Amino acid sequence: MRSVVVVGAGLSGLVAAYTISKNKKYKVTIVEKDDFVGGRASTKVEKGFVIDSSAQLIFGNFTELLKLCGELNLQKSLIRIGYENIVFYKNKKNYPLNLHGLLKYTNWKEKFELIKLIRFLKKNESSLNYTYDLNNNNFSNMNFSVWFKKNYSESLFDRFAQPIVSSNGLAHPEKMSASYGLALLNSSLRKKIYSFDGGIGAISKALKQAIQENGGKIITGNSVKKIRIKSGTVKGITVNKKFISADAIISSIPTTEFKKIYNYDKSFDDLKKIKYSPCIHLWIAFKEKVLENNFAYLLPRIEWKDHLAIIDSSIKSKSHVPKEKSMLELFIFEEHAEKLLNNTDKQIKDKLMNDLSTILGLELNDKINWYKLKRMSNGMPIHSPNHIKKIKCLYEHNIKGLYFCGDYLGGPSLETAVFTGLKSAKQVML
């Protein structure tokens, strides 16, 4: 029986381990530094509120993820989110991301451009998935903002494209590849949107249970200290001074963490070029319902200079928030998050609450029940032009038995996490 170690129990690592655990010729072990599994696809419940570790939603073109949900009998846990619950913010008014709202939100020139854009997305859909970089396409080497402004007006970019891609990708569109930006637009405009009843962690919980039922082992609360290589072949890992042997190792952790456990040579230098957006995620639970309607807000930079995304947790499912109460999730990213990373939790909360009160036109401080904050100096991977060249070394190295998965290997998303987890498992079992 061949032994496989998966480093990291985020969604991608869990999918890899689950896939391998179904093959009785292999023994699989996952090692995770946190005391829980799932990473950005995990959920906790506090005082009756469901706290997702991220606000990642599920789009209808997340083919591999939806297929996995079927295999794990999670279809009934998927909740449809209506386009009327996602709104653009303009001059202190809300415009839903549906036909009626877009007609009011855009001027006549922008309306015609929007029709042109939707036709373009439909025509090129086969190239606009989140795993394109692994197959390459014509847009992966282009800059999204340059491409968009060349084909459409700057006003459509400012009012429409920028808030969609920034809120979903948590990065400046000026840093993104056209592949990723267009994929985000295609999903947001043309596909159904879902969340999990009870939280995104439902899929990680189901994967964990299936791995253990198949005989796999999951070690949490332990960090991998080093990947052991001898004569160009993996031998195992060191965890808390204990050696665990392995015939194959799958690294599902970010590149910033991988370099801490493997002193790679120049052949991996391109990994240093992969950048991550600093992020701060703030959950604010309120004693009462504070918004008449439940929305996720798309805030254009020209309306609000600090890059801020807002989502009312109630849009995900009824089980996310106790009856007659509210929880809002706020995200800031890029340089605006970086400036605040060293501030205290209270300072960050106070600053964002002032922003929130200004945007919504409501005084909310006296209605706060509790809040929770998560800061990430390396939050979301930024999918920049020529990304495929940066990750090429992960597929062309000469170390036998070393494999990789993770959402940084394509357009950062739950779909890429699942796709690359499946791909790495299949490579191991070839």
Distances in whole angstroms, Cα of residue 148 to Cα of each of 164, 311, 377: 13, 26, 29
**329-360 burial by CB neighbour count: b if 16+ within 10 A, else e?**
bbbbbbebbeebeeeeeeebbebbbebbeebb
d(CA 26, CA 99): 51
d(CA 205, CA 42): 8
Residue 407, token pair as written in the block: 């959402």
Amino acid at 290: V
- How does DSSP assign 323-348, residue by residue? TT-EEEEEEEEHHHHHHHTTS-HHHH
- Look up tokens 């990723």; give the residue: 180
Could you tell me if 290 and 367 are in contact, meaning their C-beta atoms sit under 8 angstroms apart?
yes
State which residues of the chain have pLDDT below 50: 134
Contacts of 424 (CB under 8 A, 6+ apart): 12, 16, 250, 252, 403, 404, 405
Amino acid at 58: I
d(CA 88, CA 68): 32
Length of the chain: 430
d(CA 276, CA 404): 18
Q: With left for phi above 0 and alpha for psi between -120 and 50, is residue 44 left, alpha or beta?
A: beta
d(CA 219, CA 246): 15
DSSP state for residue 131 in the 8-state scheme: T
d(CA 315, CA 197): 10
Helix (H, G, I), strand (E, B) or coil at 196: strand
Amino acid at 297: Y
Could you tell me if 129 and 163 are in contact, meaning their C-beta atoms sit under 8 angstroms apart?
no
Across the beta sheet with 2-7, the strand order is: 217-219, 26-31, 2-7, 248-251, 402-404
d(CA 265, CA 250): 18
Q: Does domain 2-41+59-76+199-274+385-428 have CATH number 3.50.50.60?
A: yes
pLDDT of residue 240: 87
Residue 399, token pair as written in the block: 């170390």
Report the Cα 277 to chain-centroid distance in Å. Answer: 12
Helix (H) or strand (E) holding 162: helix 162-169
Residue 316, token pair as written in the block: 């995900």
Helix (H, G, I), strand (E, B) or coil at 259: helix
- Largest Cα–Cα distance of the chain, in whole Å? 66
Domain locations in the chain as residue ranges: 2-41+59-76+199-274+385-428
Output phi, psi for 294, to 5 deg.
-95, 120
DSSP state for residue 382 in the 8-state scheme: P
Residue 234, token pair as written in the block: 């993996």
Amino acid at 172: H
- CB-count exposure of residue 156 (10 Å: 0-12, 13-18, 19+): buried
Measuring CA to CA, which residue among 34, 188, 12, 195 is closest to residue 96?
188
